[in-house]
Structure 1
Amino acid sequence: MLGESAGTKGEATIEQIGRRRTFTRTLQLAIVLVVVQWPMRQAVQAGVDCEIPGRLSLLVDGTFIVAYVYASYRAYKYIRFLNRQSWRKVAAVGAWLVFGAAILDIVEDIKLWQNFGGAACADLSTGLLTTVMVGVFVAGWLVLAVSYFATSRFGQQKLYGVELAAPAKFTPSQEAVSPDAGKLIITCSGGGIRSASFCLGALQHLRELGLYDKASTVIGVSGGGYTAAAFHVLRREVDDPFAQGSPELARLRRQTRYLLQGGRAIFLAGLSVLFGLVVNLLLIGITLRAIAWVLGWFLGHEGVIRDINSEIQVTWRPDGSWNFLIVAGGLIAVSATAFVIEKIWDRWARMPDVVRMVLASIGSVSLRYGVPVAILLLGVPGGLYLIGQLPGDSGLPSGLLALVDPTQQGVTSFSALVVVLIGLGRSVWNGLAAEGKESTKLKDRILAFAQTKLAPWAGTIIIGIAAAIVLLRWTGGYATEKSFASDWGVAVILGSIAVAIKVFTDANRTSLHSFYRERLSRAFLVERKENGSAASIDYYKRLRYSSWAQPNKAGPRLVIAGVANVEDADFVPTQRDCVPFIFESDQIGIIGDRSLPDGGRRRTADYEREADVLLREVTVPAAMAMSGAAVSPLTGRVNGRTRPVRVLLAVLNARLGVWLPNPYWNNHVDDTFPPVTGFFPTLSRYVGSVIDKPGPYRLLREAVGSPSMYDRRIYVTDGGHYDNLGLVEALRRKPKQVIVIDASNDAEDRFSALAEAIATARMDHGIQIDVDPKPMIRGGKSRADRAWVYGIATHPQAEGEEAPYKTEIFLVKAVLTSQLGWDLEVYAGRNPAFPRTATSDQFYDEWDFEAYRSLGYSLAESLTGHHRVRDRLADL
């Protein structure tokens, strides 16, 4: 099945659409930068006070060079992807010509920069060098344009009169019979350390009965993935992992505060948060400074903002002309005009689809750029005007200036702002992590409302106000103070910061994922030494998923469930905002309902090399961390609750998700990323992998963007953002039996995680689940009758089958029942929230850990101890 996007009519693959979008967006950025330079060049040609606009134009031109080189490279990659050998070589020539023009452009800018240092106005031309540069530039883009047209479907039809099929793509084989068919699957639900402890006890009991080793696959989700991975890795070497009295279980009891275990971990956590926060603030700062510089000069040059008697004055119609207002609102007017034309045309005649598509494209593009242009050109002067109207103040209020002034007062105010944002972030997390806990107390309801409704928007509003203040002050300064606008050393600082961020870090390294991954690895992934002791596996040892997720001696395969955050209406229902992303030893990638296009899975060994040449991004601890990435700006199905706090989480660096390569891209028959040998090939692969890491643009997508299946990279987060039980993925594999270990923190007696899994299995795979959880309902009783239920899943009847395939479901749930051990009774009496401790609490002591572990063991024992369940599970 091929991808579908506006205008493609399902005739292009996801990668083809994505590569075309990537190219066109980069090209649009280059065009925007040309437009930005235009008034500066006009000012230089006017010959009056031209140093500032001339040099500023050269700075913008430097960004333009980067943009058009990227655009030409992406155009070539798109044409190469279409696999037209003759045009591929022609496009390569065009790309090299553009690159050559960029080199000449840089040399030209250096020469022009020196020329603007004199008293007389210089021209924005170096004679022959400029002529040659422009000629090479135009020639390169003409070659690329011809190649682009010739390889398009329209070009193929016009030039050759043939309908060109979509390029062949590699689709991993889908076995007619699942390797799990007729076998047992165990799933461990999400829920942080609560679920990890509960699932550990259940897995201990299932291993003692031999059911763990009989299972073909264990699926871990979020916190359940901690235990699933720990059990699997240790089972590769020993027969009794985490048995009672074992050294690894004793060690795990010492790691129950795994996130901040010891002073070193606390120190590293603080540095991780601070590092990402500083990088984020630097990115915001240099972006605002660059915008303010260009915008301030333009508004000052046009006479919109003036300094009259040390006061900022705003004039909407300089010299009585409407030109400025036309420029500010022109693009929005174009968008509105396209809309009106479509409506009038449709009133009197049938509009061809081509015309409708062109008008829609014009309206969409003009609106996309028209809104920010109007905000900057009208909103910034408007903000300065309103501030100027404040009584008794000739400029920005001193309290607001303190936020951005490099004075002692400013540092204090800025620090206070950061503290407030951190406090809001903590409050929001506590509210969101309550997971449906309900209270009849007015105080608790007011607190929940403040945490989940008010605090998220308050944080976003505060960040917006702070950014607006900074932009207003800097823009006013650049518009009215010549010395401010001609401080070219600032450009060197901004450029150096941008280069340093690109060279020394990336969007994944600035997030908390690396810290989280290391803490999970050191706490849960252990090995038993020859002397009988247990120690964590060396964190720097690459536990490649393709190797370590397979059983070594005996036992099941390890599968970790995450989600890829996407918001395409082409692929996901409204407000679902995600598709499953499954880690397996053989294949890895996107798995969803039957309407998703083929090709979303890759060979795991190939994907590991593509994600990172040093093989660090797709490992067992990395998969554990991604599947448990509950704290992220993007959260799949729960985006509705977390959307108001996206900006706050992104700025505060509360980001556990990871940007991985889109498995739909580079999914060809040939091995795209084979192992390389030799010094120079290895160096080239290494440098290319480092440069290709996700940049600041991805952080923007996390904060305010819409992630797409067409993007080159996808954002992988908590598997519980799709199905917290792992049941849907288990049923997709058509096993004979599934044991679900459920420690979800859904509302008591609601079993919402189970309900969502039932609905999802039916919607995505046509699987009908018949299960009645009423025996687990406590209702008015002091305890539930039992903590497990039995159900049947009926799969759609396949061609050739005499009857639909059925799967037996055994679900054990973390609820309190009678006949628990006295230690659990005492613990439950002391801890009223047990066994539904909030997921926000990830700091357990030995009593907390043992209570949940013992509960998991006891309830699993009650499940398997029932004679009917025991007989059914024995029939494998």
Structure 2
Amino acid sequence: MTGVPKGNTWRGHLSKWAEEPNGLFGEDFFARYGDRLWDPTVADQKAAHSFHVELISRIATQPLGYSEGIEDSALTSIFDLFAIARSLSKARADCKTFEVIVWHIFNSFVRPFTAKWHPKSQSGELHALDSSDIFRAELEQVQSRLVALDSILNGMTQQDGYGLQSLERPANKLIGDEMSGDVKWRPMGEPSSTTDREGRLTCENILLANLSNEERTQVEERRKFYAVKRAGECDWASGIALSGGGIRSATFAMGVLVSLSRRNLLRQFDYLSTVSGGGYAGSFLTQLLGSTSNTDFSLASHHLPFRRDENESLVLQRIRQGASYLSASAGERLVVALAQIQGVLINLFLMLTAISTIAYGELRLRRALPDYLANAFVLPFVIFGSALLLGAIFRRSFNLSLGGVKRWMTTFGVISILPLIWSILGALHQLSFKLTIGLSNVHLAEIGTACLGLIVVATVLAFSFSPIKPLLLLGITTGLVILAEALAYQIFCKSDLWMGFGVLSCSLGLALILWFFLDVNSTSLHDYYRKKLAASFLVNTSLKEAVPIKLSEFDATRAMFPIINCALNVPGSKNPKMRGRHSDLFSFTPVSAGANLIGQSRMSDWENANTELNLATAMALSGAAVSPLMGLNTTRFGSFWLTLLNIRLGAWLREPSLKKVAPAFPNVSYLFKELAATATEEDPFLQISDGGHIENLGVYELLRRRCRFIVAVDGEHDGKMTFHALTNLQRLAYIDFGIVIDANLADLRLGETGLSRSHFRFCRIRYPADKDRTGEEIGYLIYLKLSLTGNEGEFIRRYKLDEPSFPHQSTANQFFTEVQFEAYRALGEHVGDKMFLSALTGFTDNSNTDLETWFKALGNSFLDPLVQFAPVDLGKDEVVSP
């Protein structure tokens, strides 16, 4: 066939499909068939048309979004093509052109794919989306070759039929246009304005504008150092949020950070917002990079702390060694135990002194008043008081306005209960006298033991039957206080009154000394907790324990701008916004600290007002998980017992405002505020505890700043996958800022096998329009969840067999072993790596990934086009029915 023109040969006709990216035909193929005359028969054309119809109508050749379609169905669709090609080839012996081309492509490219994935599909491996991610990446390669095959077959029919031109989703254009929109960055959440809504110049607004500008300057300092530029009409911001969850969350987050660092992405994020356990990892970075000029340390992938050479980074090895951060020597444990016992004894002494004072006063009053005079007015007084209380309830139920009378009625009604309490105590004293007449001390001891046993049984019942737990605990607490008063009354009765007065006076004198000279922060566990955290997570470039930096001295050149989130506990607040919350989100940054309730003040002012306030203090307060006041979870009986037993990791900080006159330190009155859960934002000292007590994901402050791109790492304890942190954030974001977070969590929920289908979801953040813009702004949130999908490495699978509760082992376990630490760290890195699969991003080399490009690639895989509703223009005569 040497006389055949080159363009009419198979080589000439098919050469354009021999080149990459398809590469359908190699030199071996052309050596055998290349010189043949390109002359498809009628049978070839008919077979080509039939197979063309199959290709254009099958899921096997259709582009799918990340959550669209079923992988098993796509695999089956491709597998079925073999039978169809076989049938067409057998039908006519003279369709050799069709036969050679189709079977060459199928045997070279399609058969290896189906041979690999068919058994995996049968074993259920495609259930996990991050397994199907690899499947989809390889499916896309097969699809591209089937598209090229369809083009060849279309040409073979010599008709201009429908052709598969590309594998791009039709929705990608709409999604791309949407994601090209900007979100205007708001440092500190406020515009740089010095006037209020009426245009008046105020000191508060001037301060807020200055703080906002200082925050912007520090963020831009890091951008300049790493040569990070922002594309678009307006400047936009990005942030990483690390959730609460103790050492479990910190370790998981560390693995995710390693994965982001390997793609050179960490240097492109502006903010690092942390809560509780996530703050361990965040404060580690803030201390290490915010206090050094060592050129070998930065967020760049080729620098420490995340650079990995032959072995794991030495810095991360140092953190691994501190995983069991609460461990202590025998001597240290003894000192801590003695300090804790001291705190408990002081609290008990103060409580018993108050109860004894009431008992002694009752005894003197009963002896001073004749019985008939003491009891004559009890019944009518109680009846009248009850009527007033019922009237107050009736008024509130029917919204009746009685002006100042309502306060008088309520107050008098409460006072009216006192005679009832007087009668109950009197009856209790009479009963105790009758029970103790003729009984020896041994009998009294037995009675006391029996009462203690009843209390223990009641406590166990309270925690066993959660629906009645609040009532039982309240009853137990009230009962113990009443019994303690009755016991003190009995002791005073059986002793000389003046001797009792002398003992009580000494107790009151000592209590008064404690009132004026005891700093209640010094008796809590906060100081010990802070020192242990600092020793484990705050290190310098020599990998030694560092002196914690003051946040106001933070060097912003190399590190992300830190936001350390805590809870401002105000269960006694009269602000209606605190109804049900009992707390407000409080944050520390290098520029400022504060909350919505109290406003923002300079960080240096907070540090001047609280001399021990530094990065270690902020980290420990953010992780003060157990405290009498616990934000949303605050209860009266819980506060009572946690204070009494001195289980207090939170602390009182002096608010730096000059308007408030305060003692030099939080005295005993603040201990009683913890005991009775009556702290407010008006107090000179403010009660600060774990940020997870109000918002455990750490995203709230990033939303305030209108970050365009956010990565949220959720490592909280959530074995049933109820997503409390995210759903709580959705509620707070909408109520406080009018922000809507669209999140579809179906693939993260547990399936029948107890596994999730995916580790993460891609969500929209819908910021409301501000005064300068007409439409809403759209940001994006990658929500990573501590989860298993079943395709993790063998080490993680083995650990799961040994520890069935993994990866949601109790947060109470803060003593991680090396194996436990590595399991969570490896899982974090595994989850982080899954965000960069080629099937999701299209990246073949992501060693130096651009942040905006990465988010847009994930958006194309995850998002459906946003449905926009045009506003309805109602005329004057039009009525909208409810």
Offset of 1:747 from its aligned partner? 4.1
Tell me which residue corresponds to 1:561. 565
Distance 2:633 2:365 in 1: 43
1:362 aligns with 2:361: no
Offset of 1:697 from its aligned partner? 2.9
Tell me which residue corresponds to 1:718. 690
Query: What amino acid sits opposite 1:381 in the alignment?
Result: G
Distance 1:259 1:418 in 2: 33
| Residue pairs, 1:355-394, within 5 angstroms | 356-371=402-417, 373-374=418-419, 377-390=422-435, 393-394=436-437
The verdict on how the C-alpha distance between 1:388 and 1:491 changes in structure 2, with shifts beyond 3 A counting, is closer
The verdict on how the C-alpha distance between 1:861 and 1:332 changes in structure 2, with shifts beyond 3 A counting, is farther
Query: What amino acid sits opposite 2:638 in the alignment?
Result: V
* Deviations, residues 137-168 of structure 1 (Å, cap 9, x unaligned): xxxxxxxxxxxxxxxxxxxxxxxxxxxxx998
Offset of 1:281 from its aligned partner? 0.6
Distance 2:262 2:314 in 1: 17
Offset of 1:333 from its aligned partner? 4.5
Please say which of residues 327-336 and 203-212 is displaced more in the overlay. 327-336
Indicate conservation of the 8 Å contact 1:195/1:224, yes or no: yes
Indicate conservation of the 8 Å contact 2:585/2:694, yes or no: yes
Query: What amino acid sits opposite 1:170 in the alignment?
Result: E
Offset of 1:343 from its aligned partner? 8.5
Secondary structure of the 1:723 match is coil
Distance 1:631 1:224 in 2: 16
1:472 aligns with 2:478: no
1:708 aligns with 2:721: no
Offset of 1:385 from its aligned partner? 1.7
Secondary structure of the 1:833 match is coil
Tell me which residue corresponds to 2:586. 581
- The equivalent position to 1:793 in structure 2, one of 736, 751, 765, is 765
Query: What amino acid sits opposite 1:873 in the alignment?
Result: L
Distance 2:393 2:280 in 1: 55
Secondary structure of the 2:204 match is coil
Indicate conservation of the 8 Å contact 1:566/1:706, yes or no: yes
Distance 2:247 2:408 in 1: 51
Offset of 1:631 from its aligned partner? 1.1
* Deviations, residues 280-318 of structure 1 (Å, cap 9, x unaligned): 111112112222222211111214xxxxxxxxxxx4x1x
1:873 aligns with 2:844: no
Distance 2:745 2:514 in 1: 53
* Deviations, residues 803-847 of structure 1 (Å, cap 9, x unaligned): 322211112111113442222121122111111111122221111
Secondary structure of the 1:546 match is helix
| Residue pairs, 1:57-72, within 5 angstroms | none
Secondary structure of the 1:554 match is coil
Indicate conservation of the 8 Å contact 1:563/1:716, yes or no: yes
Tell me which residue corresponds to 2:258. 204
Secondary structure of the 1:861 match is helix
Query: What amino acid sits opposite 1:511 in the alignment?
Result: S
1:653 aligns with 2:646: yes
Tell me which residue corresponds to 1:46. none
* Deviations, residues 336-382 of structure 1 (Å, cap 9, x unaligned): 559869989x99xx99x7xx4432332344345554x4365333212
Distance 2:508 2:392 in 1: 44
* Deviations, residues 168-226 of structure 1 (Å, cap 9, x unaligned): 87354258898476122010000011101111111222233332222211011111111
* Deviations, residues 371-410 of structure 1 (Å, cap 9, x unaligned): 4x436533321211222344xx42899579549xxxxx99
Indicate conservation of the 8 Å contact 2:247/2:277, yes or no: yes
Tell me which residue corresponds to 1:170. 204
Distance 2:756 2:250 in 1: 23
1:755 aligns with 2:768: no
| Residue pairs, 1:305-384, within 5 angstroms | 315=371, 317=372, 321=373, 325-326=376-377, 333=384, 356-371=402-417, 373-374=418-419, 377-384=422-429
Tell me which residue corresponds to 2:627. 632
- The equivalent position to 2:268 in structure 1, one of 197, 214, 223, is 214
1:545 aligns with 2:551: yes
Indicate conservation of the 8 Å contact 1:460/1:647, yes or no: no
Secondary structure of the 1:200 match is helix
The verdict on how the C-alpha distance between 1:793 and 1:620 changes in structure 2, with shifts beyond 3 A counting, is same
Offset of 1:738 from its aligned partner? 0.5
The verdict on how the C-alpha distance between 1:397 and 1:226 changes in structure 2, with shifts beyond 3 A counting, is farther
Distance 1:779 1:488 in 2: 68
| Residue pairs, 1:834-873, within 5 angstroms | 834-865=806-837, 866-867=840-841, 873=851
| Gap regions ≥5 residues in structure 2 | 1-199, 220-234, 299-303, 855-882
- The equivalent position to 2:244 in structure 1, one of 187, 190, 193, is 190
Query: What amino acid sits opposite 2:343 in the alignment?
Result: G
What TM-score, normalized by structure 1, do the two folds share? 0.63
Indicate conservation of the 8 Å contact 1:184/1:215, yes or no: yes
Distance 1:824 1:343 in 2: 61
Secondary structure of the 1:536 match is coil
Distance 2:594 2:440 in 1: 53
Indicate conservation of the 8 Å contact 1:335/1:364, yes or no: no
Distance 1:339 1:833 in 2: 51
Query: What amino acid sits opposite 1:867 in the alignment?
Result: T
Tell me which residue corresponds to 1:273. 340
* Deviations, residues 468-497 of structure 1 (Å, cap 9, x unaligned): 33322332443565x233455414521342
What TM-score, normalized by structure 2, do the two folds share? 0.63
Tell me which residue corresponds to 1:514. 527
Offset of 1:731 from its aligned partner? 1.2
| Gap regions ≥5 residues in structure 1 | 1-165, 304-314, 404-408, 428-446, 673-687
Please say which of residues 629-638 and 373-382 is displaced more in the overlay. 373-382
Secondary structure of the 1:823 match is helix
Query: What amino acid sits opposite 1:173 in the alignment?
Result: L
Indicate conservation of the 8 Å contact 2:462/2:468, yes or no: no
Tell me which residue corresponds to 1:484. 497
Distance 1:228 1:419 in 2: 47
The verdict on how the C-alpha distance between 1:378 and 1:693 changes in structure 2, with shifts beyond 3 A counting, is farther
Indicate conservation of the 8 Å contact 2:208/2:600, yes or no: no
Offset of 1:604 from its aligned partner? 1.5
- Give the share of equivalent positions with the same residue, in percent: 25
Distance 2:639 2:817 in 1: 32
Offset of 1:449 from its aligned partner? 5.6
Distance 2:476 2:307 in 1: 51
Indicate conservation of the 8 Å contact 2:268/2:851, yes or no: no
Indicate conservation of the 8 Å contact 1:424/1:456, yes or no: no
Secondary structure of the 2:725 match is helix
Indicate conservation of the 8 Å contact 2:769/2:775, yes or no: yes
State the aligned residue count: 615
- The equivalent position to 1:807 in structure 2, one of 762, 776, 779, is 779
Indicate conservation of the 8 Å contact 1:187/1:727, yes or no: yes
The verdict on how the C-alpha distance between 1:770 and 1:343 changes in structure 2, with shifts beyond 3 A counting, is closer
The verdict on how the C-alpha distance between 1:460 and 1:835 changes in structure 2, with shifts beyond 3 A counting, is same
Secondary structure of the 1:535 match is coil
- The equivalent position to 1:620 in structure 2, one of 607, 615, 623, is 615
Distance 1:698 1:396 in 2: 42
Indicate conservation of the 8 Å contact 2:606/2:655, yes or no: no
Distance 1:868 1:648 in 2: 56
Offset of 1:459 from its aligned partner? 5.9
